[in-house]
């Protein structure tokens, strides 16, 4: 009988250990720098390589060379202080948006986040605020995972919705369950609490919000109140000038950090 009790106890401990192993490494309720093995338990791992294979414009660590990589390094240096490690500020939040869908916002957000994650002693979190069919969550087949909207609906805790990616110091917060009242959720006190908690979770962090287009949706204007800077993406050949101007003027002008002119030649003279 004692033997059966001992085996039962060992079985329960083994199951508990398996449950703990499915979560991101954390201490006292806070996410810490994950072990590479964390990603092996991430359901999105099978689709990570496919995302980059299908998007030649994407670059990931540790491949630090190439024209596109250098362009995003230039973008990074323009929006950040010259030496972020000498400042008292320990977190920066950047909103990435555009006038119209399919202008390259998700591509820009992921490339920028990957570049920022290379900064020594800093972690980077991508928040999927879109959830559309071409969003990063959808491409990684992470739509069924707990995410941002589940937290706002009180269906998940913060440590349950941040997942490690294989690039060093890079994490993702998926969109989560689709919600028809997304605008109202983003404007809620719960969203403000989420942004404050995410800022405090990491000792030093860059938070990139992949936001919906401003011309068709209101979410980017709402999310802009939580960010330190806004990166506006514009398709060089497809975005009408009036649409671009109306969209960018709808955002807080003092927070506009820069405009990314997408699909532009590297060798033509373009505004940055």
- The structure's pTM equals 0.77
DSSP string, the chain: -HHHHHHHHHHHHHHHHHHHHTSPPEETTEE-PPPHHHHHT-TTHHHHHHHHHH-TT---TT---SHHHHHHHHHHHHHS-S-GGGSS--EEEEEEEESSTTSSHHHHHHHHHHHHTTSTT-EEEEEE----TTSHHHHTT-TTS--HHHHHTTSS-GGGS-EE-SSTTEEEE---S--TTHHHHHTSHHHHHHHHHHHHHSSSEEEEEE---TTT-SHHHHHGGG-SEEEEEEETTTS-HHHHHHHHHTS-GGGEEEEEEET--TTS----
Rounded distance between C-alpha atoms, residue 194 and residue 149, angstroms: 11
Spatial strand order of the sheet with 229-235 comes to: 163-164, 170-173, 123-128, 205-210, 91-98, 229-235, 256-262
Question: In which residue are the tokens 């050949």 written?
Answer: 237
- At 17 the pLDDT is 41
- At 216 the pLDDT is 84
Q: Among residues 131, 128, 161, which one has the least CA distance to residue 145? A: 161
- At 154 the pLDDT is 93
- At 29 the pLDDT is 36
What are the tokens at 224? 């802009």
- At 270 the pLDDT is 44
> pLDDT (tens digit, 0 to 9) for every residue of the chain, 272 residues total?
555 555 555 554 543 443 333 343 333 333 434 455 555 556 566 566 666 665 555 665 555 556 777 788 888 888 876 665 556 678 899 999 999 998 889 889 988 998 888 888 889 999 999 877 777 877 777 667 889 999 999 999 998 999 888 777 889 999 988 888 999 999 999 999 999 999 988 888 999 999 999 988 999 999 999 999 999 999 988 889 999 999 999 999 999 998 998 876 655 444 44
1 exposed, middle or buried (CB, 10 Å; 0-12, 13-18, 19+)?
exposed
Rounded distance between C-alpha atoms, residue 6 and residue 260, angstroms: 62
């Amino acid at each position: 009988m004692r033997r059966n009790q001992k085996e039962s106890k060992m079985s329960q401990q083994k199951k508990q250990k398996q449950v703990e192993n499915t979560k991101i490494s954390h201490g006292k309720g806070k996410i810490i720098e994950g072990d590479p093995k964390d990603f092996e338990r991430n359901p999105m791992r099978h689709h990570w390589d496919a995302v980059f294979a299908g998007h030649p414009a994407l670059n990931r660590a540790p491949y630090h060379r190439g024209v596109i990589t250098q362009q995003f390094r230039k973008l990074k240096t323009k929006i950040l202080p010259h030496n972020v490690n000498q400042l008292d500020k320990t977190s920066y939040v950047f909103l990435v948006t555009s006038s119209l869908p399919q202008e390259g916002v998700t591509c820009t957000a992921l490339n920028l986040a990957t570049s920022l994650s290379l900064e020594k002693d800093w972690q980077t979190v991508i928040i999927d605020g879109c959830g559309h069919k071409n969003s990063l969550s959808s491409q990684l087949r992470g739509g069924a995972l707990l995410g941002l909207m589940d937290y706002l609906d009180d269906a998940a805790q913060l440590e349950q919705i941040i997942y490690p990616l294989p690039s060093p110091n890079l994490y993702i917060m998926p969109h989560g369950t689709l919600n028809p009242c997304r605008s109202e959720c983003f404007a809620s006190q719960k969203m403000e609490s989420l942004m404050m908690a995410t800022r405090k979770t990491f000792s030093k962090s860059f938070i990139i919000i992949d936001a919906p287009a401003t011309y068709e949706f209101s979410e980017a204007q709402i999310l802009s109140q939580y960010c330190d800077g806004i990166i506006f993406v514009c398709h060089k050949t497809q975005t009408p000038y009036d649409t671009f101007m109306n969209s960018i003027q709808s955002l807080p002008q003092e927070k506009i950090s820069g405009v990314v002119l997408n699909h532009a030649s590297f060798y033509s003279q373009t505004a940055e």
